[in-house]
Amino acid sequence: MPHANNGGVSVRYEVDAPDAGDPDEAVVFCGDVGLGAWQFGWQHAALAGPHTVITPETRGVGRSDAPPGPYAVEGLAADVDAVCAAEGIRNAHLVGYGLGGMVALTAALASSRPASLTVVGTPPAGDAYNPDGVWADPTDPAAVEGSLHGLLSVDFREAHPDALPRIAEWRLAEDADRETFEAHRAAVESFDVADRLYEVTTPTLAVHGTDDAVCPVSAAKTLAEGLPRGELHVVEGARHFVGVEASAAVNDALAGWLAEHGADPLSG
């Protein structure tokens, strides 16, 4: 995997590019608090091929460096920008989950590189987001599997009982340790763009499950209403892992959004 450097911090990432396409444009994932790259699997599968897709490992996670915390969203956004710069990406379509959505919004305030944003389970300020609802100690298999009860709806868990142990296995292998989680939590707690939403002129799609217990859907409504080019896509009954349990609906919305806002889908 290649890596980018941001002020001495090495950020590892993966690139999946079609044989033909715009080399200056890519979909770039931004990760949620403490989660490994597994979280992007459902959307990556739908977007890779038609689009160049870049999957960074958030600082502190996977093979990216883990400098001492606390972290700030601005620093995490600079990490993503360093990855885009390393790959020569002029037009980045950022797709962020939770903390990653905060990173995407901050990146749009700091740079003209973001061409569109899709933010999933993301509020305009960190006080509307509960990181403890996402955290599970990756050394405790029972705790990891138990955490999924609050992150995925009862309907999904009953319909897909085999999915829980699989997701738990990925979390055990890839999620951050407690020290990194606390560094990510600090970034969440210091995040607040509620009074600057009018400055985010980048087209932004806010995707949210109505039953999200980590971040209430009311926060997404406030976010979308405050953004000059914001749109809200609500998924009934879904919880915080809406991109997992409602992947078909989320992927359809995301593909349409990318097509509408200039992402050039080419199939190899």
Which stretches in the chain have pLDDT values below 70? 20-22, 263-268
pTM here? 0.96
Residue in this structure with the two tokens 């990653």, named with its chain if needed: 100
Packed helices 99-110 and 73-86: angle between N→C axes, nearest 10 degrees: 70
Q: Are 211 and 153 in contact (CB under 8 A)?
A: yes
Q: What's the pLDDT at 262? A: 75
pLDDT of residue 20: 64
Write down all domains in the chain, each with its CATH number in brackets. 3-260 (3.40.50.1820)
pLDDT attached to residue 21:
65
**112 phi, psi to nearest 5 deg:** -90, 0
Q: What are the tokens at 127?
A: 């006080």
Give the pLDDT score at 98.
98
For 141, the token pair is: 């298999």
Look at residue 258 and give its three-state secondary structure: helix
pLDDT by residue (tens digit) across 124-133? 999 999 999 9
CA nearest neighbour of 116 among 184, 180, 205, 203: 203
What integer pLDDT is reported at residue 49 of this predicted model?
85
